[in-house]
A and B are shown apart, each in its own frame.
Chain A
Amino acid sequence: MTNEEVAKDLIRQFGENVYDFDEPYGMLTLSTRREQIISMIEYLRDHPLYQINFLTTLCGIHYPDDPEPARKFCVVYQLHSLVNNFRIRIKVFLAENDLHMPTLTNIYQSANWMERETYDFFGIIFDGHPKLIRILNMEDMDYFPMRKQYPLEDPTREDKIDALFGR
């Protein structure tokens, strides 16, 4: 079971809905569309040979500087086959005005809080999630703090500007 085999099989199954194949540091990485993500994760889990049955992480990324409007946000799923010790990373890119993803909670219970965390930090809405509310931040927060436009510290503070080093 190599990266190449899995990649070829996924292309056979999902055609042009899988793209951007890469192998950074040996981990198969690919992108798909949000319509396919659930069926793809289900396919990988139920495949008799792959048995990719463990959700390692689920997290969001914000790319405000990406020129393409459809690639402003990204949700990354990292899955692991404990049987074959095979890891795979699947990305779904989203446009800023349409931050909706289908929920994974029907397949993996562990996705519940991970999706809540992603919503909490990035504002990505997981449709069908049983209880999509903030998890780590306080409930009356009115923005999504991990987005790049929010600075770490209060921007009005002047004692922390380090102009000498161009930051």
Chain B
Amino acid sequence: MNTVLDISNKNIPGSDLPAKSEESVQYVNELTTLNLGPTHPATHGIFQNILQMDGEKIVSGEQTIGYIHRAFEKIAEQRPFYQITTLTDRMNYCSSPINNFGWHMTVEKLLDIKVPKRAEYIRVIMMELARIADHLICNGILGVDTGAFTGFLYLFEERENIYEIYEEVCGARLTTNMGRIGGMERDLSPEAIRKIRAFLKRFPPIMREFEKLFNRNRIFMDRIIDVGGITAERALNYGFTGPNLRAAGVDYDVRVMNPYSSYQDFEFEIPVGKSGDTYDRFMVRNEEIWQSLRIIEQALENLPEGPYFADAPEYYLPPKKEVYRNMEALIYHFKIVMGEIDAPVGEVYHAVEGGNGELGFYLISDGGRTPYRLHFRRPCFIYYQAYPEMCKGLTLSDAIVIMSSMNVIAGELDG
């Protein structure tokens, strides 16, 4: 911890924070500058925050981001559509299938492809599993950051089971590249269905145990109630979406407001909080896990029969058997793999409810094989701006739990 030195050089990040000479009169102590990160173990990711502290209290803060910026928007301008799926994986890597399907749905909207019901239901199942995995990480780690390791261990075993389901469905675990433009690359296998059913049976008691451990735990509550609260008005102004916005009391959920992938067929509730503090965010995520389980149960129960991919030969890879015997299939296979198919001219915005909020894809196509411009609306990037305001006047340990409960994912933040 260093004391504030001369910060007259305006190019240093954080240099526009209140200088000690002018404003420290009103503070109890001399202000100190604290570098929280970039490689701080409690930030779980590469985040730097330059905090100005008055003793133990945070006076102001300034984030530095971009440590893992990979220029996805630039790369996407050089790639045919199906190759962009692998970029979306690496944004919110805690819930990759949501990103994958969000991108596929954007392209389907551009191409006007109608996806069969079965594919949509499979997508819903996978997306809700991804949401559960995402929330499990967030809430499990919130426990770790407040000093309770047990819950994290309980939940991570279940996350592992979700990853095994991914493996069964698409072969990969973290960066899934799941599904294809037009549907799924393969049908749900009996083994995958068995694994999902086993998960639905085994997970609720563990989740109940986790909730028993945390929800009314006096120590935990004292640590997080009224920590990092934000009003609904400020949250909207800051562009919050997802569980963080719902914790502040706004019932905005893309799944309900603009249903995609047959979400209108399912019955579920949107949990909302009141004060937008860390406890509310925690509780909203917990409740969303239960709602996601409800959705998965309904989707699995009513899984329609029929094809699992759309009739879009120009974008959906033909089966390998066909490629070897059928001229047309071979040509399509070649064209898809080499990315030689021109997309129609158009401009489309599509949003899905990601683990952290409205994950949007703004795609402009000029008729070429690649997007002319692709902009990702990355919810983390937008709501992380509010972090200093939420930390103001609190202590360092509070700042850690606020970041944890906001679920800032470095990959999504930096894009």
- Which residues of chain A have a CB within 8 Å of any CB of chain B? 24-25, 27, 29, 53-57, 59, 61-62, 76, 78, 82, 85, 87, 89, 108-110, 112-114, 117, 121, 131, 134-139, 145-146, 152, 165
Contacts and interface: CB of A to CB of B under 8 A. Distances in A.
B252 A112 contact: no
B187 interface: no
Interface hub of B74, B239, B340 (most chain A Cβ within 10 A): B239
Contact of A27 (B11, B71, B349): B349
A109 B238 contact: yes
A113 B386 CA distance: 11
Contacts, number: 91
B386 A57 contact: no
Contacts of A110: 237-239, 382-383, 385
A56 B73 contact: no
Contacts of B168: none
A108 B239 contact: yes
A138 B258 CA distance: 37
A110 B78 CA distance: 29
B346 interface: yes
Interface string B47-72: 00000000000000000011001010
Contacts of B71: 145, 152
Nearest to A146: B74
Interface of B: 11, 16, 65-66, 69, 71, 73-75, 77-78, 109-110, 234, 236-239, 250, 252, 257-258, 338, 340, 346-349, 351, 358, 360, 362, 364, 372-373, 375, 377, 381-386, 414-415
A85 B257 contact: yes
11 contacts: A24-B348, A56-B351, A59-B373, A82-B257, A89-B349, A109-B237, A113-B385, A114-B382, A135-B65, A138-B66, A165-B340
Given A76-B362, A78-B349, A61 B373 contact: yes
Contact of B386 (A109, A114, A137): A109
A71 to B, nearest CB: 14
Given A24-B346, A109-B237, 15 more contacts: A25-B110, A54-B239, A61-B372, A61-B373, A85-B257, A85-B258, A89-B349, A109-B234, A110-B237, A110-B238, A110-B385, A131-B16, A137-B69, A146-B74, A152-B74
B230 to A, nearest CB: 11
Contacts of A27: 349
Contact of B348 (A25, A59, A136): A25
A29 B347 contact: yes
Contacts of B338: 165
Contacts of B340: 165
Nearest to A65: B366
Contacts of A54: 236, 239
Which 5 A-B pairs give the minimum distances between C-beta atoms?
Answer: A110-B239, A136-B66, A136-B69, A59-B375, A24-B347
Contact of B381 (A89, A113, A137): A113
A159 B106 CA distance: 33
A109 B385 contact: yes
Nearest to A138: B66
Given A54-B239, A82-B250, A110-B238, A145 B375 contact: no
Contact of B11 (A136, A139, A152): A139
A59 B361 CA distance: 12
Contacts of B346: 24-25
B382 A108 contact: no
Nearest to B240: A110
A152 B349 contact: no
Contact of A152 (B75, B347, B384, B385): B75
A146 B69 contact: no
Interface hub of A62, A110, A165 (most chain B Cβ within 10 A): A110
A67 B4 CA distance: 53
B32 to A, nearest CB: 22
A136 B414 CA distance: 7
A127 B238 CA distance: 20
Contacts of B65: 135-136
A85 B77 CA distance: 30
A121 B75 contact: no
A53 B362 CA distance: 19
A75 B377 CA distance: 15
B252 to A, nearest CB: 5
Contacts of A87: 349
B385 A57 contact: no
Contacts of B257: 82, 85
